[in-house]
Amino acid sequence: MAYNYPAEKISVYLSDDGGSILTFYALWEASLFAKHWIPFCKRYNIEPRSPAAYFSESDGHQDLCSPKEWSLIREMYEDITQRIDRAVLSGKISEEVKANHKGFHEWDQENTSKNHQPIVQILMEGKDKNANDDEGNVLPTLVYMAREKRPQHHHNFKAGAMNALIRVSSVISNSPIIMNVDCDMYSNNCDTIRDALCFFLDEEMGHKIGFVQFPQNYNNLTKNNIYGNSHQVTNQVLMGGMDSVGGPMYVGTGCFHRREILCGRRFTEDYKEDWNGGIKDKTQESIVEIEEKAKSLAASTYEHDTQWGDEIGIKYGYPAEDIVTGLEIHCRGWKSVHSNPPRPAFLGVAPTTLAQTLLQHKRWSEGSFSIFLSKYCPFMFGHGKIKLRHQMGYSIYGLWAPNSIPTLYYVIIPSLALLKGISLFPEITSPWISPFIYVVCVKNMYSLYEALSCGDTLKGWWNEQRMWMVRRITSYLYGLTDTVRKLLGLSKMTFAVTSKVSEENESKRYEQEIMEFGSSAPEYVIIATVALLNLICLVGGLSQILTGGWNILLNVFSPQLILCGMLVITNIPFYEAMFVRKDKGRMPFSVTLASISFAMLALLVPIV
Ligand SMILES: O=c1ccn([C@@H]2O[C@H](COP(=O)(O)OP(=O)(O)O[C@H]3O[C@H](CO)[C@@H](O)[C@H](O)[C@H]3O)[C@@H](O)[C@H]2O)c(=O)[nH]1
Ligand SMILES: [Mn+2]
């Protein structure tokens, strides 16, 4: 709401898919605070304009304004956060507070997050004089919405929520540009709207641009990126590369779309945006009338027998609804723009535990693989519509899931073969080993160069390599099996939301870059089994080589020894988690036990 942009042209919508009175209450509190906060931001050019981010970063008025004024606004902010926290703890809103806004009565009925009527409440409306800030300036329109949820109707997760949002906003503001951000991100740059509009308004290219995507950056990364979540290389290299062949993918958040394009419009050379298309100020209807109209658009039956989720809006049926929607927009002839300014436009929360990271990657790999196998396979669907290189850029993610199989092979079979004295690679002195050495060296040197040049640390790169292996043998494997199960009709699509909170000790370990296991998950059994197996094979293999004719054997087994040794070095944090650490985040004993049994089994069963 505090963007450096004419307030009467901005409308902010909060989609609460949980339909919670607490969220409504928090938004109502925020709308009151905005009347003081927004003029304060504009007066002193505050940055970032998320009060939570601003007050956590800055510890004084820094000669910005009088200390009194600064403390006053800070106290105000602390008061509202305390009131909201108290309400969340008690789980309900007092009658006194409820009397302040008609919206609270929406919860008079028996509402649950999965069963409730559509709720649309316009908390602030540009035309309304009460909605001005404490200096008398207009404030942006602010709307709370929770689309209708009924157990008998499928709600299509985030895509369903976004489509309801597109319709609801069409009767309230109908602005030609829609920006969307996830609930776990905030705006970090008050000029982003202007930056994005520059692309759409470009005289030569502007009419070709369907969306402007800002990268996902995080404010909670640790120095060495323990879970490989920095995505700097993806943001700078992959997205930057795609920008030059047609445009980056839509990644679900931090993106500006033209409304008409989300609604299915094809590109034509003579396309011209109607910048006066919005309906703000033009309508004579009262707020209540508009709300009623909007509610009917957020009904759970509204989309029955319509093209929504297919030809119109965000696509349904894919866990990565963003990628497939963006691909289809590109195939309708539009270009997109990757905008990565030095001061990040949006900051979000990266997962802070291994389990959350693996879950997120499972959804991404599964989502992209199911697109790859569907009618939206970039090579087939994009054929003749987008460049081959653009299709290839899209397919990188699509092939993550099947990549799990060769990786599993590489982390198990050569090590087992080493232990059993079977050689799998050419001898180290033979010329035939050169392709292997070439691939390993060049791949690693290049990825190290990319990581360092994108601002990652050396240790961060190393951690990332570990995470690549771990993700491939767990998340991607699960993504693969789940996609296959869905294809066979054995299971249905889900959207596992990544958790946004963690316990205090957990956060401490995250800051110290200690891997978090804690609870027993089947993924950990895979990780621990592979780690143990490699340790046993390395020790066993080495001792056989040392006791046998070692100079001949070393020549034959060096490649396997190096591979197995590298895996053992990569896995050091897992051995520590199993046998050394005493904290709560260590590998659960049950997982260690199960892994030992599986490793034994793998040694006994004649796999190689
Ligand atoms: O039923 C649902 C499920 C999710 N969401 C919203 O979807 C957003 C993304 O969910 P999150 O759990 O934060 O997912 P991430 O793993 O961070 O999601 C990434 O990947 C998704 C596709 O897999 C994209 O849609 C996201 O924008 C992108 O940030 C959040 O704002 C949620 O509130 C809904 O509104 N309704
Ligand atoms: Mn998220």
pLDDT value of position 500: 63
**Atom 26 (ligand 1) nearest CA:** 252
**pTM of structure:** 0.91
Q: Which stretch of DSSP H or E encloses residue 180? A: strand 177-180
**Token digits for 535?**
């340790």
pLDDT at 41 over 70: yes
Distances (CA, A) of 598 to 309, 478, 529, 530, 570: 44, 18, 6, 9, 20
Residue 281 among known ligand-binding residues? no
**Atom from ligand 1 closest to the CA of residue 252:** 27
pLDDT value of position 281: 62
Average pLDDT, the chain: 92
Encode pLDDT of 138-166 as tens digits. Answer: 999 999 999 999 999 999 999 999 999 99
**Atom 15 (ligand 1) nearest CA:** 498
Encode pLDDT of 173-185 as tens digits. Answer: 999 999 999 999 9
Encode pLDDT of 450-471 as tens digits. Answer: 999 999 999 999 999 999 999 9
Find the range with the poorest average confidence among 294-303, 334-343, 507-516.
507-516
- Residues belonging to the active site: 17, 322
Query: How many angstroms from the chain centroid is the CA of residue 218?
Result: 10
pLDDT value of position 52: 93
pLDDT at 351 over 70: yes
- The pLDDT of 228-234, averaged and rounded, is 91
**Atom 23 (ligand 1) nearest CA:** 320
Query: How many angstroms from the chain centroid is the CA of residue 321?
Result: 12
**Atom from ligand 1 closest to the CA of residue 367:** 23
- The pLDDT of 346-356, averaged and rounded, is 92
Encode pLDDT of 512-557 as tens digits. Answer: 999 999 888 899 999 999 999 999 999 999 998 888 877 778 889 9
Long-range contacts of 541-545 (CB under 8 A, 24+ apart): 541/415, 541/418, 541/419, 544/419, 544/421
Encode pLDDT of 209-218 as tens digits. Answer: 999 999 999 9
| Spatial CB neighbours of 230, under 8 Å, sequence gap ≥ 6 | 218, 221, 350, 456, 460, 464
Residue 17 among known ligand-binding residues? yes
Q: What percent of the chain has pLDDT over 90?
A: 81
| Spatial CB neighbours of 404, under 8 Å, sequence gap ≥ 6 | 472, 473, 476, 477, 479, 480
Task: Tell me how far the alpha carbon of residue 78 lies from the centroid of ligand 2, in angstroms.
Answer: 26
- Whole-number Å distance between alpha carbons of 254 and 329: 17
pLDDT at 68 over 90: no
- Whole-number Å distance between alpha carbons of 386 and 149: 38
pLDDT value of position 474: 96
- Whole-number Å distance between alpha carbons of 333 and 338: 17
Task: Tell me how far the alpha carbon of residue 157 lies from the centroid of ligand 1, in angstroms.
Answer: 9
Alpha helix segments (H runs only) across 474-514: 475-487, 504-511
- Sign of the CA dihedral running 562, 564, 568, 570: positive
Task: Tell me how far the alpha carbon of residue 158 lies from the centroid of ligand 1, in angstroms.
Answer: 6
- Whole-number Å distance between alpha carbons of 30 and 100: 14
| CB distance 341 to 189 below 8 Å | yes
Q: Ligand 1, from 157, 163, 253, 363: best to mutate by most atoms within 8 Å of Cβ?
A: 253
Q: Which stretch of DSSP H or E encloses residue 123? A: strand 119-124
Please identify every residue whose CB atom is under 5 Å from ligand 2, which is an ion: 182, 184
pLDDT band at 31 (very low <50, low <70, confident <90, very high): very high
**Token digits for 389?**
């290189």
- Whole-number Å distance between alpha carbons of 534 and 108: 60
Find the range with the poorest average confidence among 60-74, 114-128, 325-339.
60-74
**Atom from ligand 1 closest to the CA of residue 360:** 16
Which 3 state secondary structure label does DSSP give 149?
strand
**Atom 30 (ligand 1) nearest CA:** 182
Which residues form ligand 1's pocket by a CB distance below 6 Å? 15, 17, 157-158, 161, 182-184, 252-253, 319-320, 322, 360, 363-364, 367, 495, 497-498
Q: How are beta strands 11-15 and 141-146 bridged, if at all?
A: parallel
pLDDT value of position 109: 85
- Whole-number Å distance between alpha carbons of 316 and 371: 11
Which 3 state secondary structure label does DSSP give 160?
helix
Residue 128 among known ligand-binding residues? no
- Whole-number Å distance between alpha carbons of 342 and 346: 11
pLDDT band at 61 (very low <50, low <70, confident <90, very high): low
| CB distance 124 to 140 below 8 Å | yes
pLDDT value of position 267: 94
- Whole-number Å distance between alpha carbons of 387 and 401: 24
Tell me how many degrees the CA angle 98-104-108 measures, rounded to the nearest 5.
105
- The pLDDT of 573-591, averaged and rounded, is 94
Encode pLDDT of 267-301 as tens digits. Answer: 998 888 888 877 766 667 889 999 999 999 999 99
Q: ipTM beyond 0.90?
A: yes
Residue (of 174, 211, 186) closest to 2 by Cα position: 186
| 529: phi then psi, degrees, rounded to nearest 5 | -65, -45
Which 3 state secondary structure label does DSSP give 15?
strand
Indicate which ligand has the atom closest to the C-alpha of 18. 1
**Atom from ligand 1 closest to the CA of residue 496:** 12
pLDDT band at 57 (very low <50, low <70, confident <90, very high): confident
pLDDT value of position 519: 84
Residue scoring higher pLDDT (262 or 546): 262
pLDDT value of position 45: 92
| CB distance 561 to 545 below 8 Å | yes
- Whole-number Å distance between alpha carbons of 336 and 257: 9
- Whole-number Å distance between alpha carbons of 49 and 47: 5
Which 3 state secondary structure label does DSSP give 561?
helix
Encode pLDDT of 466-504 as tens digits. Answer: 999 999 999 999 999 999 998 888 777 777 776 666 678
pLDDT value of position 549: 72
pLDDT at 48 over 90: yes
Residue (of 360, 590, 380, 371) closest to 496 by Cα position: 360
